Amino acid sequence: MASGNGSNFEALVKAAKRSELDAHICALVVNNPNCEARRRAERLGVKCVVHDHRDFDSREKLDQALVKTFSMLAVEGVVMAGWMRIVTSILIDAYPNRLLNIHPSLLPSFRGLDAVDQAIKARVPLTGCSVHLVEPEVDAGQVLAQAAVPILSSDNHLTLSKRIQHQEHQLLPIAVAIAGECWRSV
């Protein structure tokens, strides 16, 4: 699931194609019909499904449509890789412990929107990224993997975001592999 650029989605697809990740990425779901992630899916030969959140009366109705789509695709697990929407218990309950999110901070620090700016403003020396299980409370689920990124005195939002994103591209396939092993052992 993605809303914007889709670089984490591409990192997953490439890791699977290189056999670094034992997974089949069967589809990308986007909520923004004009996002770059959709163009990446086309370029990478991955089916893309659009569920524009503006076409739904509520978050619950959007999540019902997502569950229906995932069910039709027979997915084992779902990865929110830049999905800029809060999900409801409808989606979470449909994929218990099988719904992952990547977040640009070392959780539990800097949950929610613009974690990069939160870290800069807090003047902490270190931030990073986390992959966690999704729970109803935003960015509060069990952390599966993290990568640290130092905050340099010369950093601004753009430079720090780029360094965090580089780590996300490395971390996300590893975390999905860890989660996948857990799913298979159940």
**Interior/surface letters 16-51, b for 16+ CB within 10 angstroms, e for the rest:** beeeebebebeebbbbbeebbbbebbeebebebbeb
CA distance 98 to 182: 9
What CA–CA distance (Å, rounded) separates 61 from 80?
A: 18
For residues 115 and 35, is the Cβ–Cβ distance under 8 A? no
Spatial distance between the Cα atoms of 174 and 14, rounded to a whole number of angstroms: 13
Which residues are known to be catalytic? 103
**185 burial class (0-12, 13-18, 19+ CB within 10 angstroms)?**
exposed
**Phi, psi angle pair for 147, to nearest 5°:** -135, 135
